[in-house]
Amino acid sequence: MTRSVLAWLEQAAALTPEAPAFEDVQSSLTFGQLYAAARGLGSFVAKHTPLQTPVLLMMDKSPLTVAAMLGTAYAGCFYTPVDASMPLARLKLIVDQLEPALALCGRKYLPLAEELGLRSFTVEDAIAPADDALLEERQRRHIDTDLLYVLFTSGSTGTPKGVAVSHRSVIDFVEWASSALRIEAGSRFGNQAPLYFDNSVLDVYGAIRTRSCVFFLPRMDFMFPSRLLEDLRHHAIDTIFWVPSALTAVAASGLLQPGETELKRVFFCGEVMPCRTLNVWRKALPEARFVNMYGPTEITDVCAWFEVDRDFNDDDALPIGFPCANTRIELLDGEICVMGTCLAAGYYNAPEKTAEAFVRNPLRPQLEERMYRTGDLGAYNERGELLFLGRRDSQIKKNGYRIELGEIECALLALEGVEQGCCVFDAPTSRIICAWAGPAGKKQVQAGLKGCLPKYMLPDELLRMERLPQTGSGKIDRVSVRQVANGEHPEP
């Protein structure tokens, strides 16, 4: 029985100690080096913190950051990576909610950690000789429901929510993913997701589980598709798990051609994948496997998946498919609700918010079974595949009509000359706003939407942008789009 994700690291270090584990343009760690660094860091953390206490990580993404994550687990604690470039006020909200026992920092972030009042150390100073007896004692007391990490997501009230996930949930997910997605030993992941975004869980732990390697692609690569494709070739990347916005930017560049990369597996999650983008990638990589995945942070990355097994028109909706193994999905009044080991333990230090989202399953009143209400709407197609229809809060009512913003967005993304696009609603002014990037002009988009949408669904404002703003995880920043449409300056 696997009780800890560390079992995978120990197996990889024993079987393939010289094999590359994590790399970036400046550094790398083999599995043997990762094991040694994680145990050294774990010994330091264990000497400074009680069991199952939070450790804040303020570090740029690198192989050493992964060592800090695993070291925290060796100490019997749990980690929270944060984007140190976010506004100070938001960082303070996270620190107040988490109350970390200590912070491990990149040297340049030490002054910021001190400004936040944290007990902080540079990660370089925290690499100590391993205290095997101390680590053995910590691991002897470990159980699989102990927390592995807390990742913070945006809250509807403006207060971030810390999603608390256990070793057991990650083990359940990664064991399924490694098998179902057929990730082979020695695969090479090209990582896009920040470590504070849950899509990184598959890259990091899927690679450790299968003794594969993760190359952390430079963030600037995603601004320049030619550079990104060159890095994929140069580093022999064969597996990617990206948000659709990143795939769309490459597809729109026109640079993706057959034989351009060695990709065998293309996975995506976090946003709706436009079939126009999918078709460009499938044409360039006819032998690759394409898998659409769905799941909020609260269910440990992914709870539904669909392997693309047929052709789709550019304006089709791509299914999210079927539940992952050991996961149950029910539609209650059209809302996607999830049950299983995948569920997070709740929102850290926020029992009221936890009670609102993680509820008792009303379909099984005989016992107390937890269910997570995603807030997403779904339906089944004629093949029995689950479709994502958008957020419950993206269904608006205007002039007496119920309008699904996702339907407008799907029509926008299917138009020729639209490379990126989104649809948002500005409630104070009751305006539907469509924003896009690409060569399509305003009249062209207006005519295209008129040709496929009823009059009551047509947007009130069309906003062409050089490039749509992005969140730190690479998704389209819809709040900033709304601010731009209102003539406001988006917050940094």
- For 387, the enclosing helix (H) or strand (E) is strand 386-391
Query: How far is residue 291 from each of residues 221, 243, 264, 267, 340, measured CA to CA in Å?
Result: 23, 12, 11, 5, 22
pLDDT of residue 490: 59
Residue 393 DSSP code: G
Q: State the sign of the Cα–Cα–Cα–Cα dihedral 180, 182, 188, 192.
A: negative
- For 338, the enclosing helix (H) or strand (E) is strand 335-340
Is-contact 392 377, C-beta < 8 A?
yes
CA distance 359 to 355: 6
pLDDT of residue 156: 46
| Placement of tokens 């990037």 in the chain | 437
Residue 346's contacts (CB-CB under 8 Å, 6 or more residues apart) are 164, 354, 358
In tens digits, the chain (492 residues) has pLDDT values of 899 999 999 999 999 999 999 999 999 999 999 999 999 999 999 999 999 999 999 999 999 999 999 999 999 999 999 999 888 888 999 999 999 999 999 999 999 999 999 999 999 999 989 999 999 999 999 999 999 999 998 654 457 899 999 999 999 999 999 999 999 999 999 999 999 999 999 999 999 999 999 999 999 999 999 999 999 999 999 999 999 989 999 999 999 999 889 999 999 998 889 999 999 999 999 999 999 999 999 999 999 999 999 999 998 989 999 999 999 999 999 999 999 999 999 999 999 999 999 999 999 889 889 999 999 989 999 999 999 987 777 777 777 666 878 889 888 998 999 999 999 988 778 789 999 999 999 999 999 999 888 787 899 999 999 989 988 777 888 888 988 998 876 555
CA triple 327-162-370, angle to 5 deg: 35
- Coil, strand or helix: which one is 112? helix
Q: What is the pTM of this model?
A: 0.86
pLDDT of residue 488: 79
pLDDT of residue 157: 47
Burial of 93 (0-12, 13-18, 19+ CB in 10 A): middle
- For 215, the enclosing helix (H) or strand (E) is strand 213-216
CA distance 172 to 323: 13
Measured N-to-C along each axis, helices 6-15 and 200-210 cross at an angle, to the nearest 10 degrees, of 40
CA distance 119 to 48: 10
Is-contact 28 22, C-beta < 8 A?
yes
